[in-house]
Amino acid sequence: MEEYPVIIVGAGPAGSACAKALHDEGIEALVIEKEEVPRHKVCSGILFGQTQVLLKKYFGSLPPKEVYCEPEIIHASDVEEWNREKGFFRYVWEIPKDGQAFPQSYHNVWRNTFDYWLLKKSGVEYRDRCVFKKHAVHNNKIEVVLSQKGKGTRAVYCSYLVGAGGVNCSLRKALTPSGGEQGKEVVVYQAYYRFSDMGNLKDAHWNVFFEPSIGDMLSCVHRKDDFLTLCVGGFKGRNLKKSMETFKDFLTENFHVVLNEMERDEGCIERLSMPYLGRGKVLLTGDAAGLIYLNGEGISAALDSGYRAGKAIAQGMQKGGDVIEIYKKESEDIITHVKLCMEQLHFLTT
């Protein structure tokens, strides 16, 4: 029988941070990831100030040079919203937490190499192209059914199971089968375009637009190496590929941007839901737990909640106690900050 003390579903920042915390405590864990790593993911790929603080605290350093793309730095003051009446003005994407202000120079990275760096830094075993199918509790052990490409389906056992698979985490769905805690969903679509001219858009800026003709949420654009990254979003039912074409026309007509061929595109779901940290011996972290900071920023909350989940498991295994209650108590400040961020949300066009 194959068994691990902890199995973590998802190899993003939350999963890797949880794995790192367990590794720091000498506890073996297995991370499973449904995609082949390194894998692309819909995300701005911007490391905010709090993320930088947490990386140094939990992983000991910021990422190496190969993780970054140009422009390497986008200053907080250069994240700007635009409208037809006022032109460009500052858009706030991060606020202080518990009275602590964070660095104002944001780092521009590729999410595939950043996430892969985190996973390797965690120090634990991982399996990619491995899909979580279901779980069941038997005699205080959790049976986890996995399907790995080329190796078929099999059961693996653990004492604790962690959902770190983002908003579509199947573990969250399994814990809340009624769907009542899933929250409002926004579908996000992102594309990378080669370009000939940025027109009137300034380099090393991150521009945000609230145009109902484009989407139900903000649309944004910034440069990553030889590409302009365009992002649009809307509630289910909106044709986001059409929205992307509208956004491209909008940038051309208003800012004289010249876009060429698309390199790749990707999509995901953002969910505005109440925080839910799990139950029993199944813990949820990051997006899967509904832990999202201001205007959809998720890496900071993922790193912090993931690491604390790992520490809670370690404490429960080493000293006893209800791990979920330990995790909830240790995460009170994260949940308080999530609620504060929701009160200041400036994300939707309506």
d(CA 176, CA 225): 41
Task: Considering the domain delimited by 3-71+109-179+273-343, tell me its CATH architecture.
Answer: 3-Layer(bba) Sandwich (3.50)
User: Would you tell me how many other CB atoms lie within 10 Å of the CB of residue 118?
Assistant: 27
CATH 3.30.70 in the chain, residue ranges: 184-271
CATH number attached to the domain at 184-271: 3.30.70
Please, which residues bridge with residue 144 across strands?
A: 135, 156
The β-bridge partners of 258 are 197
Backbone angle region of 331, left / alpha / beta, with phi > 0 → left and psi within -120 to 50 → alpha: alpha
Beta bridge mates, 265: 191
Helices 299-319 and 13-24 cross at an angle (nearest 10°) of 30
Alpha carbon of 120 to those of 14, 138, 179, 193, 226: distances in Å? 14, 32, 34, 30, 27
Task: Give, for all 350 residues of the chain, the pLDDT tens digit.
Answer: 899 999 999 999 999 999 999 999 999 999 999 999 999 988 889 999 999 999 999 999 999 999 999 999 999 999 999 999 999 999 999 999 999 999 999 999 999 999 999 999 999 999 999 999 999 998 889 999 999 988 999 999 999 999 998 877 888 888 875 544 556 788 999 999 999 999 999 999 999 999 999 999 999 999 999 999 999 999 988 999 999 999 999 999 999 999 999 999 999 887 777 899 999 999 999 999 999 999 999 999 999 999 999 999 999 999 999 999 999 999 999 999 999 999 999 999 87
Amino acid making up residue 31: V
Q: What are phi and psi of 318, to 5 degrees?
A: -90, -35
Quick one: CA dihedral 200, 103, 340, 175, positive or negative?
A: positive
C-alpha distances out from residue 156 to 122, 131, 282, Å: 21, 12, 15
| Ranges of CATH 3.50.50.60 domains, the chain | 3-71+109-179+273-343
